[in-house]
Structures are given as C-alpha cells and as structure tokens.
Structure 1
Amino acid sequence: MAPTKDVKPPSFFVSLPVESLNSSTDFYKSLNFTPLPDFSDDNTAAFRFPYSANSNICLMLHAPSRFQEFVRKGSEIAQPKKATGAIFTLGVGSRETVDGLLDKAQKAGGKKDPFKMKEYGKSLGIYTRSFEDLDGHIWEATTMLDEKEKVEA
C-alpha cells in the first residue's frame, strides 16, 4: 500500500468499517469519490473525497477484520445503523450539487434525508441535506447560499 512517487498523499484520513467492501466501493464511486489504488488492497478501499476543496481528504473503507486491527484491544466496532458516532459533511459548490449528491446516493442504495431539521442552517445562509450510506453512516452535503437563494430557501 505504498504510494507511487507521482501520487501526492492525502493529509487527512477518515476510516470507516463496512460490511461489503465491494458494495461500498461501488456506492462511493457513484458519488464521485476517486479511487486511490496505491492505498487499497483486498481489505481496504481508499478514495479521495469529491470536489476540489475536499480532495486532500482520504476515505478509507475497511472490511471488519481490517478495521478491528486499528481499534483499541477489547473494544467493539460501532454499528452505525444502531448508533450514530459521527456525521461526515461534504462542502459542495451549489444547492443543485447538494440535491444531486443525494439523488446519486439514493440511486446507489443509500437513504436520502434519514433525518430532517427544519430550516437547518438557513439563518447562517447554508443549505444542508443528509444521506445514509449502505452501512448506516450519516453524511451531509452542504453549501453556502447566495443572497437570492437565502430569500428563496
């Protein structure tokens, strides 16, 4: 898993356990996450986050046996469909991109808007929606609204 010379390694990594590495790989590819083969193997799939502002962040999807190697001895891997331990937020360029990302997530087997918070972020000029991935991890997509959109939101 050593990177090749021409690949600039990410500077921040998010590691998640997944039930099916193949299914989750397909899911994240459909959301425009870019595969990083130099950081992947049979038990881990690595991706750069989509959208240029996020491209220095790496998502590491791990089979349960691999993920267990990284946790404290004796601790359990959280079951994200039963408990939320974190929410991951992607900053994107427009309201249309937020909505499009959720459409892609749903089409790939995820769940659109697993929770709704009325007018969430509106007072700050932010448009945010959420989706759940195949394993129950919660993601948000968010964007800053321009002045016209703030009035319409």
Structure 2
Amino acid sequence: MSTSKPPSFFVSLPVASLSSSTDFYKSLNFTPLDDYSDDDTVAFRFPYKSNANICLMIHSTSRFEQFIRRGSKIVHAKEVTGAIYTLGVPNKEDVDGFLEKAEKAGGKKDPFEMKEYGKDLGLYTRSFEDMDGHIWEATTMLNEKAKEKA
C-alpha cells in the first residue's frame, strides 16, 4: 500500500476503452494510483500539487454499471453533458499546454467557446473533451488580486 496521503475526493467516469483512456490521462500527467486500480478501474491523482487530493477513477462500462441506481442509464458524454470537470493549473501557459497535450492524445480542444469567460474575475479558462466526450476545463488565475480571492 502506498505511503502517500490518500485522495479525499473522487471523480468516477465510465469509459469505452480503459487502455486508451489510461494512455490519454497519463499523457496529461495524471499519476496512476495502483492501490485503487484493477482490471476494470484505473485510478489517478490529478496533475499539479494543488490538486493532489483529487482522484480520477475511470471505469469500464460494466464496472461503472455496478455503481449506478438500478434501472438508470450511463450517460454517453458525446450526446449528453452531465457535468464539466475543471482543473486548476498554475498559469496561462499551462492552460494552453494542457489543451495541446489533450488534443495530441486524441481529445478535442475547445468544444465550446465562451469569449473572455472568467476575465472579469481574473481567470483564464479553456476547455477540452476527452475521448469519451467528457468535458474538462483548465483554468488559472491571471493576477494576484484574483489569487487572493481564492
């Protein structure tokens, strides 16, 4: 068992291909957590120290079905948006770099565009889709005033 502090918040997502999605998230510097992974689930710590208490768990469809209410259906994220997952990063360059990595790994940059989204709050935010259509954002605070509010 790992000696590092366990995550305190978990996000679970269904994926069509566990191996392809594992490669995708590894390319974005998500850190695998072997202690929480098995043949149907792969767990990761979110990238960047500030997000280290968050765990992403990607599950095969059959595993994910074990966790949902009986009679309900798994959302197909390319057809329906059930949530947007936002990742805080240190600076604007990291936001843009994160999206470049996502696109290079098979994701889609900027599936939607909101001009100057968050600018009035001192934020810089861009979005991407993973291979299953789950929407993610990378965001940073641009100025010290915004950082003090956080």
Fold conserved (TM > 0.5)?
Answer: yes
Task: Give me the identity figure in percent.
Answer: 73
Out of 52, 56, 67, the position equivalent to 1:55 is 52
Listed as ranges, the gaps of 5+ residues in structure 1 are 148-153
For 2:73 and 2:108, the matched residues in 1 are separated by 25
| Residues 18-69 of structure 1: CA deviation (Å, up to 9, x unaligned) | 0000000000000000000110000000000000110110000000000000
Listed as ranges, the gaps of 5+ residues in structure 2 are 145-150
For 2:65 and 2:6, the matched residues in 1 are separated by 24
Matched, 1:43 2:43: no
Match of 1:28 in 2: 25
For 1:67 and 1:5, the matched residues in 2 are separated by 24
Matched, 1:86 2:77: no
User: How many angstroms does 1:7 deviate by?
Assistant: 3.5
Q: Which runs of 4+ in 1 moved over 4 A?
A: none
Match of 1:142 in 2: 139
Match of 1:151 in 2: none
TM-score under structure 2 length normalisation: 0.94
Matched, 1:69 2:66: yes
Out of 105, 111, 116, the position equivalent to 2:113 is 116
| Residues 94-153 of structure 1: CA deviation (Å, up to 9, x unaligned) | 000000000000000000000000110011110000000000000000000127xxxxxx
TM-score under structure 1 length normalisation: 0.92
* Partner SS state of residue 134, structure 1: coil
User: How many angstroms does 1:5 deviate by?
Assistant: 5.3
After the TM superposition, which residues 90-105 of structure 1 pair with which residues of structure 2 at under 5 Å, given as runs?
90-105=87-102
Cα RMSD of the aligned pairs, angstroms, is 0.9
